[in-house]
């Protein structure tokens, strides 16, 4: 049976492109606001409210473990989103993940604490965190492909940086709202009810994000695939059968950025700097405002790096970022340990230069690595695995290392090692800037991006 006639690639107007950029920024900001509100609360209050019978030090570690547990379920979200996204489109997945994340976040704001219902409290908290992880695992791949596949070939880095901005914007919003609540509900009031407000605000943000995303057209690349009925039947199986090594290398590229990034977004710095028994002992408010300020610089350098990668290539931009990140790790804790909120912000801001340069180009890099028929699966699974290898338990590992060694030098060594692994993984890849993304070019896309290999 012959394939149905194909009318050619869909025409994408500038209006459609601007709408997609706006929708991906808003949607990912809402998703990551939800994710980071949890991480911030884990560093500030969850140990006291949900794990207090374990003792202060262990309760903090258990609280950070719940941050990491969600990462273990990101691959499940990525598998599901990749399978259905490669079969039925990017747009529908973005709607489902947005609703799933928002529902989980709002319900966390309504949970009773350990003192009220005992062991049921942390169990319910973990279950809702799992739902957040599944939603986050499916969100990123759909958002970046909507942006990159709508972009002109010479501006994929710039367009792909749009959904990446959702991370620093989400961090900015989450830290800003948490910091505001420390002023509105200071002291014990924050523990009693103030921490709940940022979670309950999620329902308003979800309604806004849902409205905006409904107005976005499906990715033109998927429209071509669907029009010719060329969707992969089992995209996940096809991905691992032909591109398993590439998935691993791509995941390792992301691990370094995620490990260092979760030092702040995962709540570790917030906990370290506000610990009354630690070397810093700052109040919650100044620390949260410093984190919010660093999110602004992260946003700026993420956007710059996406545009730069269109000029000098994804690989070169990444390599610059890894060097900057390694350099910024050295003064981080000396600046934090001064106890000066301005110097704390300086330490975090220095870190965000390298974080931006190793995050801004990621959407374009990942989209250009995988063939069109399994691209959603490849992008989503690589991102989810990289998050597990990098940031999933970075705050827990950091807290454990300091508890065991008594020094933050062990944390710097650990993070530096992960960054070096990602640098090596980046060197293993060819730059595929500008490669055609449509289904007509699967033969060119099948040439392995891994240096020294020719075919998948």
Short-list 366, 314, 267, CA closest to 35 = 267
Is residue 71 very low, low, confident or very high in pLDDT (cuts 50, 70, 90)? confident
Check: CB of residue 54 under 8 Å from CB of residue 62: yes
pLDDT of residue 229: 47
Which position has the higher pLDDT, 248 or 94?
A: 248
Residue with tokens 């986050």: 136
How many Å apart are CA 370 and CA 363, to the nearest integer?
12
Hey, where are the domains in the chain?
A: 14-445
Check: CB of residue 125 under 8 Å from CB of residue 111: yes
How many Å apart are CA 321 and CA 309, to the nearest integer?
11
Residue 101: phi and psi, rounded to 5, are -65, -45
CATH architecture of 14-445: Up-down Bundle (1.20)
Residue with tokens 């620093």: 168
Instruction: Tell me what the mean pLDDT of segment 283-297 comes to.
Output: 88
Query: Residue 220 is encoded by which pair of tokens?
Result: 């033109």
pLDDT of 450 strictly over 80? yes
Least confident of 199-208, 327-336, 357-366: 199-208
pLDDT of 250 strictly over 80? yes
pLDDT of 5 strictly over 50? no
Q: Which positions ≥6 away from 36 have C-beta within 8 Å? A: 170, 171, 173, 174, 175, 265
Cα 305 from chain centroid (whole Å): 16
Element (H, E) at 138: helix 120-150
Angle of helix 314-336 relative to helix 362-369, nearest 10 degrees, comes to: 140
Is residue 12 very low, low, confident or very high in pLDDT (cuts 50, 70, 90)? low
Residue 73: phi and psi, rounded to 5, are -100, -5
Tens digit of each residue's pLDDT (9 = 90 or more) over 364-394 = 999 899 888 788 888 888 988 898 888 778 8
How many Å apart are CA 80 and CA 327, to the nearest integer?
38
Tens digit of each residue's pLDDT (9 = 90 or more) over 405-430 = 888 899 999 999 999 999 999 999 99
Is residue 446 very low, low, confident or very high in pLDDT (cuts 50, 70, 90)? confident
Short-list 221, 244, 161, CA closest to 450 = 244
pLDDT of 3 strictly over 70? no
Is residue 1 very low, low, confident or very high in pLDDT (cuts 50, 70, 90)? very low
Predicted model pTM: 0.80
Largest separation between any pair of C-alpha atoms in the chain: 73
* DSSP per-residue codes, 339-361: --HHHHHHHHHHHHHHHHHTTTT
Tens digit of each residue's pLDDT (9 = 90 or more) over 343-367 = 999 999 999 999 999 999 999 999 8
Q: Which residues pair with 447 in a beta bridge?
A: 455
Is residue 233 very low, low, confident or very high in pLDDT (cuts 50, 70, 90)? low
How many Å apart are CA 178 and CA 42, to the nearest integer?
12
Which position has the higher pLDDT, 260 or 144?
A: 260
Is residue 110 very low, low, confident or very high in pLDDT (cuts 50, 70, 90)? very high
Q: What percent of the chain has pLDDT over 90?
A: 34
């Amino acid at each position: 049976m012959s394939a149905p006639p194909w009318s050619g690639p869909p025409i994408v107007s500038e209006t459609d492109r601007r709408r997609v950029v706006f929708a991906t920024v808003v949607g990912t900001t809402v998703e990551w606001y939800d994710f980071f509100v949890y991480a911030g609360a884990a560093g500030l209050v969850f140990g006291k409210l949900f794990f207090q019978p374990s003792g202060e030090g262990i309760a903090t570690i258990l609280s950070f473990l719940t941050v990491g547990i969600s990462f273990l379920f990101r691959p499940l979200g990525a598998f599901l989103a990749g399978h259905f996204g490669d079969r039925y489109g990017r747009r529908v997945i973005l709607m489902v993940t947005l609703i799933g994340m928002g529902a989980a976040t709002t319900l966390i704001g309504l949970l009773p604490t350990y003192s009220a219902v005992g062991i049921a409290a942390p169990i319910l908290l973990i279950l809702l965190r799992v739902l957040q992880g599944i939603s986050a695992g499916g969100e990123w791949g759909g958002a970046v492909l909507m942006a990159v596949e709508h972009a002109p070939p010479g501006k994929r880095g710039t367009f792909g940086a749009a959904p990446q901005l959702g991370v620093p914007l989400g961090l900015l919003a989450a830290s800003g709202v948490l910091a505001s609540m420390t002023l509105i509900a200071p002291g014990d009031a924050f523990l009693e009810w103030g921490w709940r407000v940022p979670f309950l605000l999620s329902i308003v943000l979800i309604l806004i994000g849902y409205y905006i995303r409904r107005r976005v057209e499906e990715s033109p690349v998927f429209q071509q695939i669907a029009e010719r009925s060329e969707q992969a039947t089992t995209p996940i199986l096809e991905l691992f059968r032909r591109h398993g090594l590439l998935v691993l290398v791509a995941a390792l590229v992301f691990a370094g950025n995620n490990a260092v990034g979760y030092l702040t977004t995962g709540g570790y710095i917030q906990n370290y700097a506000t610990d009354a028994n630690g070397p810093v002992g700052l109040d919650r408010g100044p620390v949260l405002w410093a984190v919010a300020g660093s999110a602004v610089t992260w946003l700026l350098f993420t956007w710059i790096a996406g545009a730069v990668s269109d000029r000098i290539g994804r690989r070169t931009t990444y390599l610059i970022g890894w060097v900057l990140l390694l350099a910024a790790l050295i003064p981080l804790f000396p600046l934090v340990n001064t106890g000066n909120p301005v110097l704390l912000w300086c330490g975090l801001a220095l870190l965000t230069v390298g974080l931006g340069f190793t995050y801004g180009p990621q959407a374009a890099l990942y989209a250009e690595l995988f063939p069109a028929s399994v691209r959603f699966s490849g992008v989503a699974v690589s991102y989810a695995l990289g998050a597990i290898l990098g940031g999933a338990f970075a705050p827990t590992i950091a807290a454990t290392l300091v508890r065991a060694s008594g020094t933050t030098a062990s944390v710097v060594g650990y993070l530096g090692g992960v960054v070096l692994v990602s640098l090596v993984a980046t060197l293993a890849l060819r730059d595929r800037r500008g490669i055609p993304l449509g289904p007509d070019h699967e033969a060119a896309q099948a040439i392995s991006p891994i240096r020294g290999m020719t075919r998948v």
